[in-house]
Amino acid sequence: MPDNRNLRSLLKDAAERGVQYREASLERHVAPRPEAVAATAEFVEPMPDAGTSDAEVLRILDEIGSPATVNMVGPRYFGFVIGGSLPVTVASNWLTAAWDQNVGMHEVTPATATLERVAMSWMLDMFGLPGDSAAAFVTGATVANFTALAAARNRVFNDAGWNVEADGLIGAPALTVIVSAETHPTVFKSLGMLGFGRNRVLRAPVDGQGRIDIARFPEFDGPTIICTQAGNVNTGAFDPVGEICALAKPKGAWVHVDGAFGLWAAASRELEHLCSDFAAADSWATDAHKWLNVPYDSGIAFVRDTAALKSAMSITAEYLMTDSEFRNPSDFTPELSRRARGVDVWAALKSLGRDGVANMIDTCCANARRFATGLEGAGYEVLNDVVLNQVLVSFGDDASNRQIIDAIQADGTCWCGVTVWQGKTAMRISVCNWSTTAADVDLSLEATIRIARQNALRS
């Protein structure tokens, strides 16, 4: 039988192991060693009949699990678009786990519901979005896009005299969905989950940076939803959201902004010009586990039309306090029961303050520019305008790019991924971690350039 006798030693042991992991992450090889990955085979066993002591479970987890993790929290992980969790957010996450609150309804969990409400109003203010917008704390940008687009679906069909929540999509009026040719693949999934069909969408042509080319924007009429993007996952480029809103508004179309990481530019004085027209849109999605550097999983949807989001997401039942005078978090999210992930968002914002958030964003962008300057100085081609935190570099043809990127990953000084940008293979560098310094960029540049030169000599 589980009991609380060893609670103190168990949780302290977990904390100590977590501290050791984080301290080692500053120097650790970024990709796990092949032997460590091979050792995860020890996890694979038939479900045991007899239990194992809690201390032993934790020991196995740390001794086999920790070495086989990718050092994503370290300062030289530049793969995908991944943050590194601020220390205070790991701490808040642990404490929140100890609370184990179900943040579905305010009256059941007043502390966490209040913290989420506060974090929501701080973000609306910081991003310059309408202050009375609704927000939903969800698992990530995929579900944030889904949630915001469910509100869009409600409003657009409602305007056309159709109750989509009650009557579904079969027999519903026609609807046009316009996305960018460079839309993130998860947006197509969200559209599929909403019954719009991944392929039944118009794709707006883009320019060489992946921005919607407004001169070639598709014609549209009738009920319409338009998905724009702030922060292309390869180049970091922003769609002309203001110009798209100007086309959309007179026709009553809904404009959504996928700002999974790009929305954070609005927090920076240097970058806020990229987001100056965003308040004209109807909904916005972002991640907190990317650029705010909170632990997984954490994303937020913001929706101007609170009633549309509530109609899409709320439920009523006799045993639930759904007519509360308070903001019930579950009125806005796909989930009823969920963890209080907004508490980590609050902790990050409270710890950094407005200036600290801006500084974190600006530092990442400065380090991205440092990468670009260093790589160009060494004679390599940077394929994108480095407007944000993303850098695409090519070392030559497809085969040499792939060889060099594999060798960089194996070397372990840093970790960058491979991508194909408008037909050209490239290495993709994303600077999102709060702890990355200029010295980390220099170390990574040194390793990258050394490996690329060796590769050129060999071939």
- Which residues of this protein are in contact with ligand PLP, per CB under 6 A? 81, 140-142, 184, 186, 229, 231, 233, 258, 260-261, 287, 299
Residue 410: count other Cβ atoms within 10 Å of its Cβ: 12
In the complex, what is the shortest distance from the CB of residue 384 to ligand PLP, in angstroms, rounded to a whole number?
15
User: How far apart are the C-alpha atoms of 279 and 400, rounded to whole Å?
Assistant: 44
3-class SS at 330? Answer: helix
User: How far apart are the C-alpha atoms of 51 and 254, rounded to whole Å?
Assistant: 54
For ligand PLP, give the closer residue by CB, 254 or 261: 261
- Where would I find the beta strands (DSSP E) of 181-298? 202-204, 224-229, 254-258, 283-287
In the complex, what is the shortest distance from the CB of residue 224 to ligand PLP, in angstroms, rounded to a whole number?
21
- Contact between residue 188 and residue 227 where contact means Cβ atoms under 8 Å apart: no
For ligand PLP, give the closer residue by CB, 157 or 264: 264
In the complex, what is the shortest distance from the CB of residue 300 to ligand PLP, in angstroms, rounded to a whole number?
10
In the complex, what is the shortest distance from the CB of residue 137 to ligand PLP, in angstroms, rounded to a whole number?
13
For 50, the token pair is 């007899």
Nearest Cα residue to 292 out of 274, 258, 267, 271? 267
User: How far apart are the C-alpha atoms of 411 and 229, rounded to whole Å?
Assistant: 34
User: How far apart are the C-alpha atoms of 425 and 402, rounded to whole Å?
Assistant: 8
For ligand PLP, give the closer residue by CB, 141 or 244: 141
For 360, the token pair is 């974190």
For ligand PLP, give the closer residue by CB, 285 or 349: 285
User: How far apart are the C-alpha atoms of 376 and 382, rounded to whole Å?
Assistant: 7
In the complex, what is the shortest distance from the CB of residue 128 to ligand PLP, in angstroms, rounded to a whole number?
19
Residue 382 bridge partners (DSSP) = 393
- Contact between residue 367 and residue 431 where contact means Cβ atoms under 8 Å apart: yes
In the complex, what is the shortest distance from the CB of residue 233 to ligand PLP, in angstroms, rounded to a whole number?
4
For ligand PLP, give the closer residue by CB, 81 or 113: 81
For ligand PLP, give the closer residue by CB, 282 or 287: 287
For ligand PLP, give the closer residue by CB, 279 or 300: 300
**CA neighbours within 13 Å on the CB side: how many for 439?**
3
In the complex, what is the shortest distance from the CB of residue 309 to ligand PLP, in angstroms, rounded to a whole number?
18
- Contact between residue 116 and residue 329 where contact means Cβ atoms under 8 Å apart: yes
In the complex, what is the shortest distance from the CB of residue 430 to ligand PLP, in angstroms, rounded to a whole number?
9
Residue number, nearest CB to ligand PLP: 140
For 130, the token pair is 């309408």
For ligand PLP, give the closer residue by CB, 233 or 383: 233
3-class SS at 412? Answer: coil
In the complex, what is the shortest distance from the CB of residue 201 to ligand PLP, in angstroms, rounded to a whole number?
15
For 413, the token pair is 């000084």
For ligand PLP, give the closer residue by CB, 287 or 331: 287
